[in-house]
Amino acid sequence: MTVASMAAADPPGPRSDAGEPVVGVGAPVAGAGRPGSGAPVASAGRPDGGVPDGGESVAGAGRPESGAPGPVERAHLWAVRHWPKTLRNRVAVVALAVIALGFVVIATFGRLVNLAVSLDLLAYVGLMVFCWVGAGGALVPIPGVRELSWIMVVNQGAALDPVLVALLAALAMGLGQSSYFLATREGVHHVAGHRGRHAHADGAAGPPSGDVAGGGEPPSAAPARVRPWSGIVARSRTLLERGKDAVTRLMHVHPQRTIFILSVVPNPLTTFATVTAAALGVRYPRFFAASLAGFILLTSILVIAGQGIIAALGIHG
């Protein structure tokens, strides 16, 4: 065997204690050590040339980010550097800021009041609040407020901008019904969360005993007196219950159409439809869109009616 063949069979490099060459040690790494080569270091010492854990190449590691702080960050840094260090100075700065804000409010208050009066902002705000409460925004049913809000829409539609009156009144009514919707949805979630616990407690208590406390027969009720108008009240309740059953059936099939129709037509079932929609899981954006569309049509009809009344009476604003 020649010397050349022995050198080829026994490559130079470090060897182990047994005299065998160590694989991968001392071998040049491809792309490593070359400035600006951009080769990923993942291939160094990796026979498969793969990427290190994390899935990113380390070629650009160590390069500083070129992004400079924006104006908001610079302002925040400036405020932090110049913010007073002691409590007394901080209180003084806050007091001066409050005093300056008070002077600005006092100086512009008169102009703001004049602007509100010239633009009839108080009238629009009062209309929205009245319609919001009438539609149940405060979650307190006040008898007659909804009907008064309709009359107010008729009146203000003839005195103010009719388009703006219709839109703002409809928006307030939609937000008022949203209070019932959101409250019902929250109640449904609360009941569903505690249903399992109550069922477990009822099962642990056992079936109710058949003994009646006190024993004996229940006392007989005294005959009720027949009051006037009792027949009309009974028929009205029957019609209302039938209407609720019809609304419940329609809400399972066409919820948005049902909400729209009941929002357009003044009726005592609007709130019931809202509560039913929330209990059945109708999405709030769909409910609000259908309700707002119906209220816009309702307020538009009321505004047109108000203008017609003004024209028939010959009153010119």
Render pLDDT for 248-283 as a digit per residue (tens, 0 to 9): 999 999 999 999 999 998 888 898 999 999 999 999
User: What would the DSSP string read from start to end of 248-288?
Assistant: HHHHHH-HHHHHHHHHHS--TTHHHHHHHHHHTT--HHHHH
Dihedral angle of Cα 249, 253, 255, 257, to the nearest 10 degrees = -100
For residue 21 the two structure tokens come to: 């060459």
Residue 106 CA to residue 267 CA, distance in Å, equals: 47
pLDDT band at 296 (very low <50, low <70, confident <90, very high): very high
Q: Please say whether the beta carbons of 156 and 317 come within 8 A.
A: no
Residue 167 CA to residue 145 CA, distance in Å, equals: 19
* More confident call, 62 vs 206: 206
Task: Look at the pTM and tell me if it is higher than 0.75.
Answer: no
Total residue count of the chain as it appears in this document: 317
Mean pLDDT of the chain: 74
| Residue percentage of the chain with pLDDT more than 90 | 26
Render pLDDT for 141-182 as a digit per residue (tens, 0 to 9): 788 888 899 999 998 888 888 999 999 999 999 999 999 999
Render pLDDT for 73-128 as a digit per residue (tens, 0 to 9): 777 778 778 778 888 888 888 888 888 888 887 877 777 677 667 777 888 988 99
Q: Please say whether the beta carbons of 171 and 131 come within 8 A.
A: no
Q: What is the pLDDT of residue 192?
A: 74
Q: What is the pLDDT of residue 294?
A: 95
- CA 288 to mean position of chain CA atoms: 12
Q: What is the pLDDT of residue 206?
A: 52
Question: Which range (60-64, 116-120, 293-297) has the least confidence?
Answer: 60-64
pLDDT at 303 over 90: yes
Each residue of 95-107: b (16+ CB within 10 Å) or e?
eeeeeeeeeeeee
* More confident call, 31 vs 66: 66
* More confident call, 253 vs 62: 253
Q: What is the pLDDT of residue 74?
A: 79
pLDDT at 293 over 70: yes
Q: What is the pLDDT of residue 304?
A: 92
pLDDT at 292 over 70: yes
Q: What is the pLDDT of residue 81?
A: 80
Domain boundaries, the chain: 85-118, 122-190+238-313
Instruction: Tell me the β-bridge partners of 15.
Output: 21
* More confident call, 286 vs 315: 286
